[in-house]
Amino acid sequence: MTVATFRVNCDINEAFIAQVNEEAVVLAAGAALQVERLGQQAIELSVALSDDAEVQRLNLEYRGVDHTTDVLSFAAEEEPNWVGRTVVEYESDGLEEVEEEELEEAAPEAFAFKLPPGFAGDENGVARYLGDIMISYPQAERQAPEFGNSPQREVQELVIHGVFHLLGYDHEQPDDREIMRAKEEAAAKLLDNKPANDT
């Protein structure tokens, strides 16, 4: 069994500490990185869960949109290039990438994410910083029933969504949306094999 060399810095607004399972946040980020074949690289990212007011402030400041949203992503790099990253190609008949059977075979053993003690980073002792994800917990809680999710699972799916944005994916165009959605679904499938304890 392999253990990922990544760290997720969680900053949870104290109003939501009782509702948010930090392990679930880490597992969600790990699932996205595993789908992207980055599970063995020294990576660091931050996930903050806050209230509507804070997310609305950031949404206005950085996107010019004066209302809250579910998740914001602030990538540390534009168009990040990662060694070992899954190659995604546009094909006339859709997305070509890892076969579902490969994913299912890899999932049980490969998916063993945790915060490693004495996180070391790369050969220089430095992790590559992916960026920051900000989630409105109240918005996640409100929209969870719409998707048939518990609030915890909705937070996890927003973390996955945010990680793929940090990795350079978006959903502005139909082709891009198809690719990003396929990635998210693959990560969710991995997550189903490694559930966190519900709070």
CA pair distance 177, 161, nearest whole angstrom? 11
- Interval 120-167: pLDDT, tens: 455 555 788 999 999 999 999 999 999 999 999 999 999 999 999 999
Helix (H) or strand (E) holding 178: helix 174-192
Residue 164 near residue 183, CB atoms below 8 Å: yes
pLDDT of the residue at 96 = 39
Q: Which residue has the tokens 């002792």?
A: 125
Q: Is 40's pLDDT higher than 70?
A: no
pLDDT of the residue at 37 = 83
CA pair distance 155, 199, nearest whole angstrom? 12
Q: What's the mean pLDDT in 169-196?
A: 86
The pLDDT confidence band at residue 79, using thresholds 50, 70 and 90, is low
Mean pLDDT of the chain: 79
Q: How far is CA 115 from the centre of its chain?
A: 15
CA pair distance 169, 158, nearest whole angstrom? 14
Q: Is 51's pLDDT higher than 60?
A: yes
In whole angstroms, how far apart are CA 163 and each of 19, 131, 134, 199? 21, 9, 11, 23
pTM score, two decimals? 0.78
Q: Is 186's pLDDT higher than 60?
A: yes
Q: Is 98's pLDDT higher than 70?
A: no
Q: What's the mean pLDDT in 57-70?
A: 95
pLDDT of the residue at 78 = 72
Helix (H) or strand (E) holding 95: strand 94-96
Span 6-192: which CATH code? 3.40.390.30
